[in-house]
Each structure stands twice: as C-alpha cells, then as structure tokens.
C-alpha cells in the first residue's frame, strides 16, 4: 500500500497483511494496527485495517 506522509508529503510504502475484512454475519470485526515510519523525514505513521 502506498500512502502520503502528512509531514513531508513523501510517498510511504507500507505492507498490511490480508485480513478477514468486515462481514455482516460476524459479531466481531476487530480493528488491527501497524506502525511504520517515513523514510524521508522519520514521521511515525499508524495504519489501521480490518
């Protein structure tokens, strides 16, 4: 996944493992997170996914 750094606007490449996603038939859709840092300015980014 490629996202923009909010501090310096550089492109940050981050990997997010495949998850189950959001399903209507499940009662628990757990939000997960992962941290990464911008290689240009060092700003820490937090990515959240299902």
Number of domains in the chain: 1
Contact 43, 6 (CB under 8 A): yes
Instruction: Identify the domain containing residue 31 by its residue range.
Output: 2-49
**What is the pLDDT, as a whole number, of residue 24?**
67
Distances (CA, A) of 38 to 6, 23, 30, 31: 10, 32, 26, 23
pLDDT in tens, 1-50: 899 999 999 999 888 777 667 666 666 667 888 899 999 999 999 988 87
Report yes or no on whether pTM surpasses 0.75. no
């Amino acid at each position: 996944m490629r996202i923009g750094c909010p501090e310096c606007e550089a492109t940050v490449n981050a990997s997010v493992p495949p998850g189950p996603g959001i399903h209507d038939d499940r009662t628990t859709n757990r939000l997960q997170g992962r941290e990464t840092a911008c290689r240009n300015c060092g700003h820490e980014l937090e990515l959240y996914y299902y």
